[in-house]
Amino acid sequence: MEADRRNPGRWQRWLGVDSMELRVKPTVPFVTKADIEATANSLLKRYQEREGPLEEPPVPVEFIAEDFLGFTLRWEDLPDYDTLAFIDPNEMEICFNLNRSEYFDQIGPEYSTAHEVGHYELGHFQEAGAQLKLGLMDEPKQFLHREEHPEKYGSHEFQAEYFAACLLMPRWLVIKEAEHFNLLRWPGIYALAEKFKVSATAMAKRLEELGLIYRDGKKLYRNKQEATGQRSIF
């Protein structure tokens, strides 16, 4: 029932009131990366309080979305090929584009699921009641996750994308698991990424952000100083 309490739009439908549906916020305020990570950690904390400690990867993001938050995950032939997935908080649905099955066959639906959950947890929707500023009714009720997203929603997309990285690759879990892999060789990065069910690119980016590696093109180093020292030798 937690998801229903967090979603006033759903309560309004049960009461027969249609004017309070949720729509995408036209703009979202600036949020620091630390705050986005804290939001992802808060969701993981709530999940662990109910289901027990998360001791090893992968993060069960589909279970979190369906069983914990109350979303229905489904697949549909969407006419817009560029759309990977969308979230509709009014129907509590996350829908994946069946026409992009080759994309999901390569990387799985986990990252897109976490991305859509990010829109929900970060409050990118609000009630479209009469008391809200003019123009909100023109905003969509569904948030489309496209490969090329309109610049208007750039802030929404950045926040949701970073949320997904923090949710699927929690800081403490990555640091713990990274000890068992050679992070200075790409096969080690690929193996670690497979364990977390993310792409090697996403894992390398997260590892660098956590200060566990430094990337110079395709070359991997322990830190920037080591990379600079290598270049100065040659």
pLDDT (tens, 9 = 90+) of the chain, 234 residues, equals 333 334 433 333 333 334 468 888 888 889 999 999 999 999 999 999 999 999 999 999 999 999 999 999 999 998 888 889 999 999 999 999 999 999 999 889 999 999 999 999 999 988 765 444 445 445 667 766 665 555 556 788 899 999 999 999 999 999 999 999 999 999 999 999 999 999 999 999 999 999 999 999 999 999 999 988 865 444
Q: Which is it for strands 22-24 and 72-76: parallel, antiparallel or unpaired?
A: unpaired
Cβ count near 60 (within 10 Å): 16
Report the distance separating Cα 170 and Cα 40, nearest Å. 8
Which residues on adjacent β-strands are paired with residue 145?
Answer: 85
pLDDT of residue 26: 81
Tell how far CA 233 is from the center of its chain.
41
Q: Please report, for the chain, the start and end positions of each structural domain, with discontinuous segments joined by +.
A: 2-168, 170-234
Q: What residues contact 221, with CB distance under 8 A and at least 6 apart? A: 184, 213, 214, 215, 227, 230
Report the distance separating Cα 62 and Cα 12, nearest Å. 26
> Strand 93-97's sheet: what is its strand order?
72-76, 93-97, 83-88, 143-146
Class of domain 2-168: mainly alpha
Reported pTM: 0.84
pLDDT of residue 9: 38
CATH-assigned architecture of domain 170-234: Orthogonal Bundle (1.10)
